[in-house]
Amino acid sequence: MKIKIGGTEGNGVSHFEGFPPTNGWEMKLEVDSNGNVTGKNKNDAGPGANVEKTYKGTYKDGVIQVTVVFTSTGQVNEIQGKIVGDQFTGTVKVIKGPSMGLKGTVKGKVTIKN
C-alpha cells in the first residue's frame, strides 16, 4: 500500500512552535503487509523543498509512527499521527540536530493506493 500525505495539492502544513506554518509539507510512504513503513521524498514547497527525507516506522489502525531522517543534514524527527477519513493530523518532534527538542504539528490530505 502507498500513502501520500500533504504536498501543495493536499494542503500539507507543518507548524513548529515559535515559527509560522509552512505550506507544502509532505510524506510519501509505503506500507508492507506487516504494517512496516518506509519511504522517501522532498517537500513540494517551503524551506525543505530541496531536502530529501527518508522514513521508517509503523502503520496500524490508521496510526502512523515514523522516524524521519533528513539525508543532507542528519536531522532526525519523530512523527506520530492518525488518519481519519482523508485527513492526517499529527505531532512532530526534532530528536537529533541543532533544533533538538523543537515540537510542532503536521497535517494534510491523505491519498491511499493499494
Distance between CA 30 and CA 59 in Å, rounded? Answer: 10
Q: Quick one: DSSP state of residue 20? A: -
> Please, which residues have CB within 8 angstroms of residue 102's CB and are 6 or more apart in sequence?
16, 17, 18, 93, 94
Query: Which residue from 41, 39, 77, 84 is spatially nearest to 58, judged by alpha carbons?
Result: 39
What is the pLDDT averaged over residues 80-102? 97
Q: What is the CA radius of gyration of the chain?
A: 13
How does pLDDT run across 50-70, given as a tens digit for each residue?
A: 889 999 999 999 999 999 999
Q: List the domains of the chain with CATH numbers.
A: 2-113 (2.40.128.30)
| Alpha carbon distances (Å) from 89 to 52, 80, 98, 111 | 21, 9, 25, 14
pTM score = 0.93
The C-alpha atoms of residue 60 and residue 93 are separated, in whole angstroms, by: 20
Q: For residue range 16-47, what is the model confidence (pLDDT) as tens digits?
A: 999 999 898 999 999 999 999 999 998 766 76
